Structure 1
């Protein structure tokens, strides 16, 4: 019996190795690109601009619902101020398209749609008051973090592509998104999360 136990372990290791090899070969398989796929960084840059343009326009529609459902005055004011900023960010993106000699065009952003759907669910699944306010802040900060990542990447692309006008617009928006995120953290920290307990 003692000699069979190592044999079983060896057999298990062999099976595990084969499974790992199959998984490894599957994960390294290349996904075929669509016919409209970006071939150069400039294509990816323009495609990503369309994505965030859609996202910002969707956010302009969603922020009033968040504001209406918030009860904390500082939170309501923060959302109201960011709505005005977001409208300006849409205009900045239009200027960026213009600087590239392109018509401003939106392409549905699945990531933003998912974040906004989650925000809607949080509102529906919380009682009005501090708990809902805490949920709205959480949802809003997820949106801000997505935007910070997106604008940071777009600014890096614009820099490499030497699109100076776009870079200026993107950095201005990136700064606003970071400040909004910091403000939401302050609102949450000023006893709002403690009250929600």
Structure 2
């Protein structure tokens, strides 16, 4: 019984993550295009490629779990993407917009880190070693993307400070 409940919970989490990643493959290019900073645009484009690979990785997880690869609408990601779109419309091109893009993107990364961490923990309980490995790989990429966004923000702060002096 316990294994069944954990498996169902894991599948529901993976379906949510799958939809979230698919939403991001459409949203990230818009953020990258709106970025003024080349460093930020490049970081977003790089993460888009990772996100596309993460979708493929999730499809592998579905196969390992022996369930159809289909998403469940991720309302949380939908809301985070809407907030990111607001950042684009609320700010003119430049440092302030770039910082707003970074803030929106980091909220997304933190959401994903939480989701993948939960899914990985469930897979560990189910002794699904290959699923754990795949989820851990993505979790590491999400943490790296978050750190890269922080570096972009710090670079923008430094640039802005130099301009003001």
TM above 0.5, yes or no, is yes
Q: 3-state SS of the aligned residue for 2:27?
A: helix
User: Residue 34 of structure 2 corresponds to which residue in structure 1?
Assistant: 69
Whole-Å separation in 2 of the counterparts to 1:123 and 1:191 = 17
Distance in 2 of aligned mates of 1:195 and 1:132: 13
What is the rounded CA distance, in whole Å, between the counterparts of 1:71 and 1:192 in structure 2?
Answer: 14
1:159 equivalenced with 2:128 (yes/no): no
Partner residue in 1 for 2:143: 178
The 5-angstrom pairing of residues 21-170 of structure 1 reads 40-170=5-135
Runs of at least 5 residues in structure 2 that lack an aligned partner in the other structure:
none
Is the contact made by 2:95 and 2:156 (CA closer than 8 Å) also made in structure 1?
no
Q: Which has the higher contact order (CA 8 A, sep 6+)?
A: 2
Larger Rg: 1
SS in 2 for 1:58: helix
| Partner deviation per Cα, 1:18-47 (whole Å, 9 max, x = no partner) | xxxxxxxxxxxxxxxxxxxxx711111101
- Confirm or deny: 8 A CA contact 1:53 1:93 kept in the other structure: yes
TM-score (norm 1): 0.78
The gaps in structure 1 that reach 5 residues or longer are 1-38
Structure (1/2) with the larger helix percentage: 2
CA distance in 2, matches of 1:189, 1:154: 31
The alignment partner of 2:72 has SS state of coil
Across the aligned residues of Structure 1 and Structure 2, the Cα RMSD in angstroms comes to 1.5
CA contact (8 A) 1:134 1:193 kept: no
Give TM-score, length-normalised by structure 2: 0.93
